[in-house]
Structure 1
Amino acid sequence: MEQPIKMLDGRTDEATKQMLQGVVKRKRKFDSLRKKHLGVMSLTIGLTAIFLLYLYKTIIQPYSYSFYEVFSVFVSQSANLYFLIVTLGLFGLMNLLKEKREKAEKEYHALRCEIIDKSKDLWKKEEEWKNRHLVFEMMKKQYDINLFHENK
């Protein structure tokens, strides 16, 4: 368990601490997948731009008088096929990471909203209820998790 969450001693019970730890874990997973998706997306766009520029300069421009010649030259060079496969593979990986990122985001926001909805049950005692804003502020400051409002 995270040290700041452990130090909440009297402000929360053990079950609430586990829920806070779970939302931190899901937030980190979401952030990690978002960074990976952004990196692969940048790589895919860059590689596609390079590939298209390469095709234009080496195949399309010199052989533009005939589609058959363009196709023949493209197929005759095996590097073009490998470059195309790598580009399409990166595109597929980008889409896969996008789906994983969206799933992780839904899980993270669902748990975050659950904590917000159940806050009256999680901080039942009057003293705990008055101090819950300290827990929310700590989560916002330490982990950038907003528990004050359900909106993203």
Structure 2
Amino acid sequence: MESSIMMLDERTDQATRKMLQKVVERKQKFDHLTRLHLMVMWSTILITFVYLIFLYFTTINPYSYSFAALFSNFVNHSSNLFMLMVIFGLFGLMNVYRQKRDKAEKEFHALRCEIIDKSKDLWKKEDAWQNRHLVFEMMKKNYDINLYHENK
């Protein structure tokens, strides 16, 4: 469990701490998948760009006089097939990470909204209810998780 969540005072019970810990874990998973998606996306764009430049200077520019010669030269080099497989593989991986990221975002947002909806039940005592903003501020400051409003 995160140290700042463990240090919460007696106004926050153990079940609430577990929920806060789960929302932090889901946020970390979402952030990790977002970074992976961006890394694979930019890798795909960069490799595609470099390959197109390579293709232009080795195949398109020298053989632009005839489509048959251009196509024949493109097919004769096995590196073209390999590069196309790499690019399509990266594109597919990018889409897989995007789907995983979207799923992790939905799970994170659902748990965050559940905490917001159940805040009256989680902080039942009067003094706990009046001091719940301290927990909300800690979550916002330490983990960038907004528990004040359901909207992102």
TM over 0.5: yes
Please, which runs of 5 or more residues in structure 2 have no aligned partner? none
1:106 aligned residue:
106
Is 2:118 the partner of 1:118? Answer: yes
Distance 2:70 2:96 in 1: 32
Give 4+ residue runs of structure 1 displaced > 6 Å after superposition: none
Q: CA deviation at 1:83?
A: 1.0
Q: Contact 1:136–1:147 at 8 Å: present in 2 too?
A: yes
Q: Which moved more, 1:67-76 or 1:102-111?
A: 67-76
1:70 aligned residue:
70
Q: CA deviation at 1:67?
A: 1.7
Q: CA deviation at 1:11?
A: 2.1
Distance 1:137 1:71 in 2: 62
Q: Contact 1:74–1:80 at 8 Å: present in 2 too?
A: yes
Q: How many pairs does the alignment contain?
A: 152
Q: Secondary structure at the match of 2:27?
A: helix
The alignment's TM-score, normalised by the length of structure 1, stands at 0.98
Q: Contact 1:11–1:135 at 8 Å: present in 2 too?
A: no
Is 2:37 the partner of 1:40? Answer: no
Q: Secondary structure at the match of 1:10?
A: coil
Distance 2:70 2:28 in 1: 48
Matches within 5 A, 1:1-152: 1-152=1-152
Amino acid at match of 1:7: M
Identical residues among aligned pairs (%): 67
Over the residues paired in the alignment, what is the CA RMSD in angstroms? 0.8
The alignment's TM-score, normalised by the length of structure 2, stands at 0.98
